[in-house]
Chains A and B, each alone.
Chain A
Amino acid sequence: EAGVTQSPTHLIKTRGQQATLRCSPISGHTSVYWYQQALGLGLQFLLWYDEGEERNRGNFPPRFSGRQFPNYSSELNVNALELEDSALYLCASSPDLNEQFFGPGTRLTVL
């Protein structure tokens, strides 16, 4: 069974640009979660999508947004990039509210 996949692996942008990160969940999982892991800050919950709807959102500004497609894959968009947005962005999928399975992450660097 294929695991959670994320693309791209690395992304380099400059301040003010927009970034789009993609995630494909494990087949049969309807929930997708996005986390930001900045250096020294642990995992910060960003967004949770389930069945195409945004279910919950972490304490991040509106320039962090996303969506979930009918096939349950998901995009995370970050507008007006700032230097402090540089981080590893992790996606996880889950068949329910409990166990989450993580992808390898997208490392975003903002110059």
Chain B
Amino acid sequence: GEDVEQSLFLSVREGDSSVINCTYTDSSSTYLYWYKQEPGAGLQLLTYIFSNMDMKQDQRLTVLLNKKDKHLSLRIADTQTGDSAIYFCAESPNSGNTPLVFGKGTRLSVIA
């Protein structure tokens, strides 16, 4: 079955780098996503990576994909208090009739 696992909490100091990790199970997933949810709001797509890529960088965000280990990570450089939110990892199973599968989310707390 499909399952996406994430650690539930991460706390970092302002200015440090944050690394949020995720493991997924469907090796045929075509895309993997990171979403951000601020308190009381919906989910905002942060970035995504195609499964034939190892790395994608977008300003302060770096996504690393290890297909062999089915491991995805999101690195946020120079973490700011505005980055405090819940971050969801999601995979797009290649099964045709299944929508995105989300992890339970990692709550990032940034300490000033």
Interface residues of A, Cβ cutoff 8 Å to B? 4, 31, 33, 35, 41-43, 45, 48, 55-56, 90, 92, 94, 97-105
Contact = CB atoms under 8 A, between A and B. Distances in A.
A45 B1 CA distance: 15
A94 B44 CA distance: 13
Contacts of A99: 31, 33, 45, 48
Contacts of A103: 42
Contacts of B101: 45
Identify whether the interface residues of A are mostly helix, strand, loop, or mixed: strand
The majority secondary structure among interface residues of chain B is loop
B43 A102 contact: yes
A92 B99 CA distance: 11
A42 B103 contact: yes
A75 to B, nearest CB: 18
A33 B102 CA distance: 13
Interface of B: 30-31, 33, 35, 41-45, 48, 88, 92, 96-105
B104 A42 contact: yes
Contact of B105 (A42, A100, A101): A42
Contact of A102 (B44, B96, B97): B44
Contacts of B41: 104-105
Given A41-B104, A42-B105, A101 B45 contact: yes
Contacts of A104: 41-42
A4 B92 CA distance: 20
B29 to A, nearest CB: 10
Q: Which 10 A-B pairs have the closest CB atoms?
A: A42-B104, A102-B42, A102-B43, A43-B102, A104-B42, A105-B42, A98-B92, A98-B31, A48-B99, A103-B42
